[in-house]
Amino acid sequence: MTDFVEMRIVVIEPDDIRKQVEAAFANEFEFTGESKTSFRHRDSGQRFRYIPGGQFQMGFSEHEELAANAIFTPIPANPGEMRPVHVVRVSPFLLGERPILNREIDIESNEYSESAAFVSHTEATTFAKQFGMTLPSEVQWEYACRAGSKTLFTWGDELPSEDELAGWLKFDFANDYGRSNAFGLYGLFVGEWTSDPWSDSYDSSEIHDPNVIAIRGGGAYFWPWQDQEWVWCMSAMRAPSTDLPENKCGFRLVRDFPIS
């Protein structure tokens, strides 16, 4: 295991990003003009961020383990499930700026209409498919969460103040989206479905049950924290869907570029 792999993100000029999206999806998306990476999906109304391709070190590095131990020892997580650390190359993709909300998936909830929708994996994939989309893979989710960082959290190696944490741990988006990472992504820690079945480690090719899905994020679900729930904000943190209450959690959409 090594911590000396260079993190690389392909830098693209704003006009080239627009041309790339327009060439791939024609009129499916429109440029919002608010950021060089911000696009709106016309049919769903969802806002997406262009996630540039690149290379990153996936998994729980030695550096991150040291940072986690500095917060609390022993780490209340299983490092083996987040290892071995390995280098992954990622193609560009479009990722939902925030999780899907209750009002967007027709869940009856007046009080919580602007909160992240907690649904089954089947409901999440069905919702995505109606727009020709998918859920993020584990690789896509971690790459997007890290946004070029190699630290324990997307914001650094230490826990910030409670006021700042509250901005990261938004669950209800009625008033504002809170804090975003370097890719402009919000609400990263509500707990989200991926498209990948769970495996016990990155070494293991054995899928024990294809219906058990890998979950990412989750720190907002436990906020305000009563114990060491900060581990659910670690960029490398992952868990099987069997750990979920009622087998439901949040999700966001992915639009992959066509393979040329």
Q: What is the mean pLDDT of the chain?
A: 93
Short-list 24, 212, 46, 3, CA closest to 121: 212
Query: 219 lies in which domain range?
Result: 8-256
Predicted confidence band at 260 (pLDDT cuts at 50, 70, 90)? Answer: low
Residue 67 belongs to a domain:
yes
pTM for this entry: 0.94
Q: Report how far residue 183's alpha carbon sits from residue 145's, in angstroms, rounded to the nearest whole number.
A: 8
Q: What is the pLDDT of residue 107?
A: 66
Q: Kindly state whether residue 2 falls inside one of the protein's structural domains.
A: no
The pLDDT tens digits of the residues spanning 151-205 come to 999 999 999 999 999 999 999 999 899 999 999 999 999 999 999 999 999 987 6
Does 98 reside within a domain?
yes
Distance of CA 189 to the CA centre of its chain: 8
pLDDT digits (tens, 9 = 90+) for 15-62: 899 999 999 999 999 999 889 999 999 999 999 999 999 999 999 999
Residues 6+ apart with CB under 8 A from 39: 21, 29, 30, 31, 32, 47, 48, 49, 50, 94
> In the chain, what percentage of residues exceed pLDDT 70?
95
- Average pLDDT on 199-217 reads 88
C-alpha span between 201 and 206 (Å, rounded): 9
Please report whether residue 3 resides in a domain. Answer: no
178 lies in a domain? yes
Over residues 129-136, the mean pLDDT reads 97
* Cβ atoms within 10 Å, residue 139: 16
Asked whether the predicted pLDDT for residue 5 surpasses 70, the reply is no
As for how many domains the chain has, the answer is 1
CA atoms of 138 and 180, how far apart (whole Å): 19
Output the pLDDT for position 207.
76
Q: Is residue 59 part of a domain?
A: yes
Residue 240 lies in a domain: yes
Q: Is the pLDDT of residue 4 over 80?
A: no
Going by pLDDT thresholds of 50, 70 and 90, the confidence category of residue 2 is very low
Looking at residue 202, which CATH number applies to its domain? 3.90.1580.10
Residue 1 lies in a domain: no
